[in-house]
Copies of this chain bind each other. A is one copy, B any other.
Amino acid sequence: MTNVPFQFDLLARQGRARAGVFHTPHGDIPTPIFAPVGTQATVKAVTPAQLQELGARLVLSNTYHLYLRPGDALIAELGGLHEFMQWPGPILTDSGGFQVFSLAKIREIDAEGVTFKSHIDGSTHRFTPEKSIAIQENLGADIIMAFDECPHPYGREQVSAAVERTHRWAERCLQAKTRSDQALFGIVQGGVYPDLREHSARFLTGLDFPGYAIGGLAVGETKPEMHAMLEVVNDILPAEKPRYLMGVGTPEDLVEGVARGVDLFDCVAPTRLARHKAAFLRRGRLNMAKAEHARDPRPIDETCTCYTCQHFSRAYLRHLIQAKEMLASTLLSIHNIHTLLELMREMRQAILEGRFEAFYAEYGGG
């Protein structure tokens, strides 16, 4: 197998589902894959060593947060994000667009960019496509994202305007990019509108990005709408490029996404739910704070091979939660991340062995 940075080797397909390898300067990413999120240059409550033990290969970090604190120039001065957070494998940074629209207080959106106030101290900042790329070049991730406008998924006129703006910004991001050791992905928008999604996928395909993200999903639309959009978009995007569904998900969403041709996923869910006392099952989840776990000697999931399930009882986890001990967040994060990574490894193997349909039926997808 070749090892050219940003080459995507498609190894097997079954229906829309795909298994492959995406080559990056910091290592190969077997796909389909789930990327844990390290918003502030740390995947909350776990060490990089624990992430490596979990078999994580790709980690996401947030441009908006790192720009505000500690600052992308400081991270560049300290050798870049890999060195700063001591993650030796591939890293993906988002463009900051989603956070500007969801966390910050917007002052003004215009054709050039977005002026916003920091959610930390209220100070005023401005992101443009060029600025987003400059920050992401300072951070130095392997995969970087085009700056996009992520609108509410309903409201045809607004979504259509956001699609056009996202396309202009995508062209400017390609122009602004200077580093050859980073892959810039374009982001397909279009809300819940099949024709807008189709238009966006076709336009961005024409710009020949090394990979494509599907944005503006998992933001309030229904599951059938999300699934329909994935099918529309993935039937247009070029087969030889990786496809990344942003901000998804749960075990069930990952299975549905892979079945519809998605290669990369990221989501804060495994670590955020852990801090809210929820443990993923292969399907569904448990609220570990419940009194019913107080005397239960069983692990969260008797079939799970993670450090948490190999050692600790539900009773102990519930005790840690009651006692407000940090270890609860760490052990639940380890379990939740493992559950998603393991599910992705299972799906990849099933695709490689030509039995994804059976896997999907057994899982109860659809």
Q: Which residues of A are in contact with B by a Cβ distance under 8 Å?
A: 40-42, 44-49, 65, 69-70, 74, 77-79, 84-86, 294-295, 297, 307, 311-313, 315-316, 318-320, 322-323, 325-327, 329-331
Point out the residue from B69, B295, B297, B323 that lies within 8 Å of A40, measured CB to CB: B323
Q: Which B residue's beta carbon lies closest to that of A50?
A: B47
Q: Which B residue's beta carbon lies closest to that of A316?
A: B84
**28 contacting pairs across A/B (C-beta < 8 A):** A40-B320, A40-B323, A41-B316, A41-B319, A42-B320, A42-B323, A44-B325, A44-B326, A45-B326, A45-B327, A46-B327, A47-B327, A49-B307, A65-B323, A69-B323, A70-B315, A70-B318, A74-B295, A78-B313, A78-B315, A79-B297, A84-B313, A84-B316, A84-B319, A85-B316, A86-B311, A86-B312, A326-B329
Point out the residue from B44, B78, B325 that lies within 8 Å of A327, measured CB to CB: B44
* Residues of chain B lying within 8 A (CB to CB) of residue A320: 40, 42
Least Cβ–Cβ distance between A20 and chain B, in angstroms: 31
Report how far A325 CA is from B62 CA in the complex, Å: 15
- How often does this chain occur in the complex, in copies? 2
Least Cβ–Cβ distance between A36 and chain B, in angstroms: 13
Least Cβ–Cβ distance between A123 and chain B, in angstroms: 15
Least Cβ–Cβ distance between A253 and chain B, in angstroms: 26
Report how far A312 CA is from B295 CA in the complex, Å: 39
Contact A78–B297 (Cβ < 8 Å): yes
Least Cβ–Cβ distance between A325 and chain B, in angstroms: 5
Report how far A190 CA is from B47 CA in the complex, Å: 45
Q: Which B residue's beta carbon lies closest to that of A327?
A: B42
* Residues of chain B lying within 8 A (CB to CB) of residue A325: 40, 42, 44
Please name 9 further chain A to chain B contacts, defined as beta carbons within 8 Å, in addition to the given A48-B311, A70-B318, A74-B315, sorted by A numbering: A40-B325, A41-B316, A47-B327, A47-B330, A69-B319, A86-B312, A86-B316, A326-B326, A326-B329
Report how far A312 CA is from B45 CA in the complex, Å: 16
Point out the residue from B307, B322, B330 that lies within 8 Å of A69, measured CB to CB: B322
Least Cβ–Cβ distance between A281 and chain B, in angstroms: 22
Known: A70-B319, A320-B42, A331-B47. A295 touches B326 (CB 8 A): no
Least Cβ–Cβ distance between A225 and chain B, in angstroms: 35
Contact B40–A70 (Cβ < 8 Å): no
Q: Which B residue's beta carbon lies closest to that of A48?
A: B311
* Residues of chain B lying within 8 A (CB to CB) of residue A319: 40-41, 69-70, 84
Q: Which B residue's beta carbon lies closest to that of A45?
A: B326
* Residues of chain B lying within 8 A (CB to CB) of residue A315: 70, 74, 78, 84
* Residues of chain B lying within 8 A (CB to CB) of residue A74: 294-295, 315
Report how far A325 CA is from B326 CA in the complex, Å: 11
Least Cβ–Cβ distance between A231 and chain B, in angstroms: 38
Point out the residue from B48, B70, B326 that lies within 8 Å of A294, measured CB to CB: B70
Least Cβ–Cβ distance between A133 and chain B, in angstroms: 23
Least Cβ–Cβ distance between A330 and chain B, in angstroms: 6
Point out the residue from B65, B322, B331 that lies within 8 Å of A70, measured CB to CB: B322
Least Cβ–Cβ distance between A2 and chain B, in angstroms: 32
* Residues of chain B lying within 8 A (CB to CB) of residue A40: 319-320, 323, 325
* Residues of chain B lying within 8 A (CB to CB) of residue A312: 86
Least Cβ–Cβ distance between A192 and chain B, in angstroms: 35
* Residues of chain B lying within 8 A (CB to CB) of residue A46: 327
